[in-house]
Structure 1
Amino acid sequence: MFERFSSSPIVKRIKRILLRIDALIDSSMFDSGRRSRELYEDFSAFMERFHVSGFSRVAVELSCEALTLGLAGGVVLLALAGSAFQMTNENDWLKQTDLAVTFLDRYGAEVGQRGIKHDDSVPLEQYPDYLIKAVLATEDRRFYEHFGIDVIGTARALTVNARSSGVVQGGSSITQQLAKNLFLSNERTITRKINEAFLALWLEHHLTKREILQLYLDRVYMGGGAFGIQAAAEFYFGKSVKDVTLAEAAMLAGLFKAPTKYAPHNNLPAARARANDVLNNLVDAGFMTPSQIIAAQRSPATPIDRKRETAPDWYLDYAFGEIRKLAAAGKLGDNRVLAVRTALDSNVQKRAEEVIEKNLREQGRSYRVKQAAMVVMEPDGAVRAIVGGRDYGASQFNRATDGSRQPGSSFKPYVYLTALMTGKYKPTTIVTDRPTCIGNYCVHNYSGGYAGSMPLAMALAKSLNTVAIQLSQAIGNGDSRVGRAKIIDTCRRLGITTPLEDTPSLPVGQSDVILLEHSAAYAAFVNGGKKTTPYAAVEIRNRQGELLYRHDRDAPPQQQAVPYEKVVELAGMMKKVVEEGTGKRAQLGEGIDVIGKTGTTNGYKDAWFCGYSGTMGGCVWYGNDDNDPMNNMTGGTLPAGTWHDVMAYAHQGVPLKPIVGLKPDPKAADAVAANGVKPLELGAPQRPATLSKGAVQALESIQLKIRTIGGGKQSALEGPAALASQDEPRNSSQGFRAVGGVIQ
């Protein structure tokens, strides 16, 4: 049967077809292999022509490696450039930076300006020729030759600085400095320098050299609160930049390197020595001859006496950033010339700066500390004062608003509040100070020992690290990760935006926070648990005096962020920190309840005190920019003392308010009823008197009548600021002018 089937014609035909297919496949594979071999041989013969050996081979290999690395570097540079170029997305980026803002304090006294003065900007062609040459000879001699980054100048600066073991010459071009002024902060980071370089290239592509130089001279900080060389000429010499002499031009050009150090109203000998260097630079650069500068060297410039005038530059930088955000959000319309009444208390600002400088001068060496920062804020977020560092002229980086540091134990109130919110704990709940570990992480107390069992409130007063870690475990029902996630959520509710690293050490403050945000979060502890958003601008008007923005009208109202009753419990616990615990130096005496918390990080790299009365408060930080450890400084020493010295002054003559939810003692109630506290009781100097709230309201009604009679038209500075006459007593060195609606 099988033989009959296999011999059939159909089967034979199928066999022949399959055989042909097999032969076709075999021949195709053979032909493909042969052709591939021939192609390879041809390719090898072709490439053999390029065969090199010896030094030529080394050069080729190095070139190939360089190309590979160059391509990889290009990809990395494109990735890094992304963040820089995102800042230039807006088509009107230059218009947004052209704000001209005059700032008033809470009482209506003019305290400074920011931005370019539209009415006073002088075209570059009207500048004296020797002034332009002095700036270029000192700041960027190759300005018209480089492409935004002066490679030769940077290399030269690095060489000089290496030989001198310090920073003697700067390597940033004028274009780079303009990029920083237009788009970046003064933060000292590698990321900022990378963005600065890319933005400099972008500016060179979009603007001419003259436009770049004009923008730079209109915006550069020149000391004394003056931004732009025209404002500096008026401030230091009382004349337009068009009229400055060669000696005055040299003194102005010398300010760019260190505006405060060389400001003539601060240190005239240093300013004149620097001006002499600038004159020599003119000769070295070939712009002038020795005979042309000799008269200026023999007769140096003499500035106007302005030794008593100071500007709250840290505060104004923060306020100007706030105004720029409002303008970018379209809340100010197309207006670019503005008058802004802020919540700034000029007297408190000055006092905070003086206390910090005094402490650093007298105790900085013994504690090995060089920097400090402070924020004074009301419980609703009104910022009364900001100190961003020791010397604004030496470094404009604002450590209060832009820097982030580890808060240490000042972070613990967030942990304790989260524990109270679980319902498992009350201030009287007994906890045990004992050895505590999470995995390989074992925490120890500052004292090194263990205190045993105590109420939860006392554990916070003693700032026990072990209890904070135990609470993080209990909050998560034994899972510390879950507990830390809830703690982070509490921080977010209160306004902390910095990335909080989820590590076992989080509850004891090992993750960075920003001082301004930390201060605002603490405000919730005295206002009943409402989220506090810091703000500087109370009112904003255009040049015609028309009201564009009013915070109490246009800003979102405060929202309840955490349960009221739990915040009240926490406030009672934090009151014990000041009365019985690590924050005793912050006490303001009988009559003013204070809550607060100290903070000290590992290695004494940061020391904090954050606290509030019912009226105002904030945070104080001491440390070093390079994270060098201090000499055993804790939050209960200099930070708590600084807070006390500033707040004792700030609480004079202002209406005292109780901490929400806490029952004040009778003496505190009497102080509130008396509407003031004697300075001797607080251990502070006498604060200048200010108008009462009733007097301010009366002036506001007068202002309204004047507007009605005058048709409602007035300039920005003839509005609120003009209510008080020239003969009225002054509340600060800047002068006193009352403003309607002031909250003292």
Structure 2
Amino acid sequence: MEEPVSRKAARTDSKPERKRKRGLFRKTMTLLFSCALLGVACLVVVALYLRSQALPVGTFSQPSQMYDMHGELIGSFQSGKNREFVPLSHIPKHLIDATLAIEDKRFYDHVGVDVRGIARSAVVNLQHGGVVQGASTLTQQLARNLYLTQDRTWSRKMKEAMYAVQLEMQLSKDQIMEMYLNDATYYGHSAYGVQAGAKLFFGKDVGELTLAESAMLAGVPKGPRYYSPFFDMDNAKERQELILSEMAAQGYITPQEAEEAKREKLVFMKPEKQSAIAQAPFFRDYVRRVAIERLGIDEREFDEGGIRIYTTLDLDMQKAAEEAVAKQLPADDELQASLVAVDPRTGYVKAMVGGKNYSDNQFNRAVADSRQPGSAFKAFVYLTALQQPGFTPVSRFKSEPTVFTYDNGRKTYTPSNFNNKYPDGPIDLREAIAKSDNIYAVHTIQQVGADKVIETARKMGVTSHLEPLPSLALGTFPVSPLEMASAFGVIANLGVRVEPTVITRIESHSGKVMYEAKPEKTKVVEPEYAYVLTSLMKSVFDPGATAGRVADLIKRPVAGKTGTTNTDAWMVGFTPELATAVWVGYDRDRNISSVESYKAAPIFAEFTERALEAVPPKLFPVPDNVVSVYIDPATGKLATNKCANPRLESFVKGTEPTEYCSDGTPTTGDGKDPQKKSGKSWWDDLKRWWND
């Protein structure tokens, strides 16, 4: 029986269509095969080309150099480079396995570039919205260290991949591993290669390392500043345990071996002491830290990339700082000191002493926020208060034993004055600052609010942890000398904060500018309030005040604030050109004696005078919105010729007293009628004439 015509026609019509599809498929497959063949041919050509090309001569490291603000050489790096080659056969298998587990688990499977690893890292980085996982193989790292700079550019990455493939073509995997462990691993402290690293940290040959020691050593090259046990034991231990876990997960060791190694107590060598003749060693360390951690300069490049680091240091001021500290601190005593000096106009750190003997102890106390500033913190309390309505230099509180309540009356705080000495009656702000009265300070912070004081401190550059408690007024929360010097610099600079800076410029070995500083300037306080506080803080150096003993040592206008706790002594002060913080104390929170507590001020005074000996004395500039009038200290009112002991006081215009202490002729301090010009006193005219 014949098929229906319609079905037969449909089948007949489909034959050309099937033929067309088969033809298209054959053409597509032919094209794909041709492309694949062409790709293979290209790869063969590239491979043959790369194999025929000689690798470049390995780059020779160049010492990097650091300069002060005048272009004087502070010092060179890489001067004591430590490297000792060892064959792969002398390197423990545990160390090789640890390196592979954490750095390049597919080392024996790729051809120098791990395509699968690149794809995996790309996915992880996309998921996290940033670079959290890299994909460089050990061969790429070796190629970079042998032939390239540390520049983060696409061209460098392409060259790195090309050289890595060439290395894989010309060397065996074991040869590459041997070169990597000897040439591409840097452990800090000028130690290169696993043998130098083993001796640096454990004082033994690399072949003698245990599993636990091998895992610890393998973790350091990722970032010696972060993972060296000499710098951060917590980070180093955490990374060692990660490596041991990875080794167990990848089958190099058993989980039990990993846990036993994690529990093994490691014994480290003491870090080698640097040369005693190195200039400004604490400053050098801090510059290195800033360059690597904040600016992203590769650590190895910093040491041996031939870069030039131009800094803010003044070597003459640095010498003055070191000698001032050495003069006051006995060499055979554990008493320590630190000093930081900042130019308030530029934010440049001009001198830094982190301790009295770098060769004995490298801990930089100048930048460590580990010491209570004591009464030096009161500057922030009073600057906050002066900006509040009704609070002026003649605001008065009665200084007597007082129990303060806070937290809605649920808690109490009972401060006391030094040696439990209290004045007979109310005192004003100038006397409170000069005598460092604690009761006045707590009254003030209770009135203006601790939160506002913290806000002021933050604006002025204090980043350390602070809490809104009454005791904040007495400096009970640790800060760093660098924070204090920079913050007091805001007062000296009439309320303008300039970000503290230690590096002005970094140039590559070829002269390319890698970094150039542009310190931010921000007005955080109106100039008239900064000046009024400066005027008040000059009284700290008056006879009988807390720094009165060193007044004769300073031959120029200066303001500041002392600070003393059971364990710390501070002197933080400034001239128009220089703000300096000095701390004296013991590292282990041992109490200081009354004699030791007075050492900070002489260090400050001697350093300030010597640092500025070539600079003519200069008065603090007076803002337009400041007026100076004679007041009666006993009442806080305007003085007349019938008031005893009149005192010239500066006020923000509009906040000066308007009432007189008694009937009589207004006084200028000498019993004569004042000369009034445009509503201003002769003192204002004299100061403006001097500054002009």
The normalised TM-score by structure 2 is 0.56
| Structure 1 pair 110–455 and aligned structure 2 pair: CA distance change class (3 A) | same
AA at the equivalent of 1:446? F
Cα contact 1:494–1:531 (8 A) shared by 2: yes
- Residue 497 in structure 1 maps to residue 560 in structure 2: no
Question: In structure 2, what is the equivalent of residue 339 of structure 1?
Answer: 308
> For 1:348 and 1:466, how far apart are their aligned partners in 2?
38
| Structure 1 pair 484–633 and aligned structure 2 pair: CA distance change class (3 A) | farther
What displacement does 1:317 show? 1.2
Question: In structure 1, what is the equivalent of residue 609 of structure 2?
Answer: 648
> For 1:426 and 1:632, how far apart are their aligned partners in 2?
33
| Structure 1 pair 329–354 and aligned structure 2 pair: CA distance change class (3 A) | closer
Q: Map of 1:474-623 to 2, 5 A cutoff?
A: 474-475=447-448, 483-551=449-517, 554-556=518-520, 558-580=521-543, 581-587=545-551, 592-601=556-565, 604-623=566-585
| Structure 1 pair 660–110 and aligned structure 2 pair: CA distance change class (3 A) | same
> For 1:547 and 1:394, how far apart are their aligned partners in 2?
36
> For 2:200 and 2:68, how far apart are their aligned partners in 1?
39
Alignment root-mean-square deviation, CA: 4.2
Question: In structure 1, what is the equivalent of residue 67 of structure 2?
Answer: 104
> For 2:685 and 2:553, how far apart are their aligned partners in 1?
13
SS at match of 1:340: strand
Q: Map of 1:177-192 to 2, 5 A cutoff?
A: 181-183=224-226, 192=232
State the Cα deviation string for residues 621-676 of structure 1 (Å, max 9, x = none): 111111111122465x1000011111121011136554343799999999999xxx
What displacement does 1:584 show? 2.1
Cα contact 1:105–1:344 (8 A) shared by 2: yes
Question: In structure 2, what is the equivalent of residue 631 of structure 1?
Answer: 593
Cα contact 1:404–1:515 (8 A) shared by 2: no
What displacement does 1:173 show? 6.4
SS at match of 1:395: coil
Cα contact 1:355–1:646 (8 A) shared by 2: yes
Cα contact 1:374–1:619 (8 A) shared by 2: yes
Question: In structure 2, what is the equivalent of residue 199 of structure 1?
Answer: 239
State the Cα deviation string for residues 328-386 of structure 1 (Å, max 9, x = none): 299xx999642122111112212222222332216x75xxx521111011113111111
Structure 1: runs of 5+ lacking an equivalent: 1-97, 152-171, 208-254, 267-308, 476-482, 674-744
- Residue 372 in structure 1 maps to residue 351 in structure 2: no
AA at the equivalent of 1:378? D
Q: Map of 1:323-334 to 2, 5 A cutoff?
A: 323-325=291-293, 327-328=295-296
Q: Which has the higher contact order (CA 8 A, sep 6+)?
A: 1
Q: Map of 1:128-167 to 2, 5 A cutoff?
A: 132=195, 136=199, 139-141=202-204, 143-144=206-207, 149-150=212-213
> For 1:187 and 1:672, how far apart are their aligned partners in 2?
52
Cα contact 1:599–1:608 (8 A) shared by 2: yes
Cα contact 1:592–1:668 (8 A) shared by 2: no
> For 2:516 and 2:558, how far apart are their aligned partners in 1?
30
Question: In structure 2, what is the equivalent of residue 442 of structure 1?
Answer: 414
The normalised TM-score by structure 1 is 0.53
Query: Which residue of 275, 285, 288 maps to 1:320?
Result: 288
> For 2:570 and 2:384, how far apart are their aligned partners in 1?
21
| Structure 1 pair 187–425 and aligned structure 2 pair: CA distance change class (3 A) | farther
Question: In structure 2, what is the equivalent of residue 393 of structure 1?
Answer: 359
Query: Which residue of 261, 265, 279 maps to 1:311?
Result: 279
| Structure 1 pair 134–577 and aligned structure 2 pair: CA distance change class (3 A) | closer
> For 1:658 and 1:459, how far apart are their aligned partners in 2?
23
> For 2:269 and 2:223, how far apart are their aligned partners in 1?
14
What displacement does 1:182 show? 2.3
SS at match of 1:524: helix
> For 1:584 and 1:358, how far apart are their aligned partners in 2?
20
State the Cα deviation string for residues 282-337 of structure 1 (Å, max 9, x = none): xxxxxxxxxxxxxxxxxxxxxxxxxxx4321100111122222453299xx99964
> For 2:372 and 2:280, how far apart are their aligned partners in 1?
26
Q: Map of 1:6-155 to 2, 5 A cutoff?
A: 101-114=64-77, 124=85, 132=195, 136=199, 139-141=202-204, 143-144=206-207, 149-150=212-213
Cα contact 1:527–1:660 (8 A) shared by 2: no
> For 2:195 and 2:515, how far apart are their aligned partners in 1?
40
> For 2:62 and 2:459, how far apart are their aligned partners in 1?
33
SS at match of 1:194: helix
> For 2:235 and 2:330, how far apart are their aligned partners in 1?
35
Question: In structure 2, what is the equivalent of residue 659 of structure 1?
Answer: 620
Choose between structure 1 and 2: higher helix proportion. Answer: 1
SS at match of 2:329: helix
- Residue 457 in structure 1 maps to residue 393 in structure 2: no
Structure 2: runs of 5+ lacking an equivalent: 1-60, 87-181, 184-190, 248-267, 406-411, 629-682
Cα contact 1:149–1:197 (8 A) shared by 2: no
AA at the equivalent of 1:622? V
What displacement does 1:542 show? 2.0
AA at the equivalent of 1:370? L
State the Cα deviation string for residues 429-465 of structure 1 (Å, max 9, x = none): 2332122222332111003121122221111111000
| Structure 1 pair 473–184 and aligned structure 2 pair: CA distance change class (3 A) | farther
What displacement does 1:560 show? 0.4
> For 1:201 and 1:145, how far apart are their aligned partners in 2?
20
Query: Which residue of 359, 365, 383 maps to 2:328?
Result: 359
The percentage of counterpart residues that share the same residue type is: 26
SS at match of 1:587: helix
Cα contact 2:559–2:574 (8 A) shared by 1: yes
What displacement does 1:529 show? 0.7
> For 1:409 and 1:176, how far apart are their aligned partners in 2?
44
Out of 196-205 and 422-431, give the one that drifted further: 196-205
Count of aligned residue pairs for this structure pair: 440
| Structure 1 pair 485–578 and aligned structure 2 pair: CA distance change class (3 A) | same
SS at match of 1:531: strand
What displacement does 1:122 show? 5.7
What displacement does 1:555 show? 3.3
Cα contact 2:347–2:519 (8 A) shared by 1: no
What displacement does 1:392 show? 1.6
What displacement does 1:606 show? 0.6
What displacement does 1:136 show? 3.3
> For 2:337 and 2:554, how far apart are their aligned partners in 1?
28
AA at the equivalent of 2:235? N
What displacement does 1:493 show? 0.6
Question: In structure 2, what is the equivalent of residue 682 of structure 1?
Answer: none
What displacement does 1:589 show? 5.5
> For 2:466 and 2:228, how far apart are their aligned partners in 1?
22
Question: In structure 1, what is the equivalent of residue 317 of structure 2?
Answer: 348
| Structure 1 pair 642–543 and aligned structure 2 pair: CA distance change class (3 A) | same
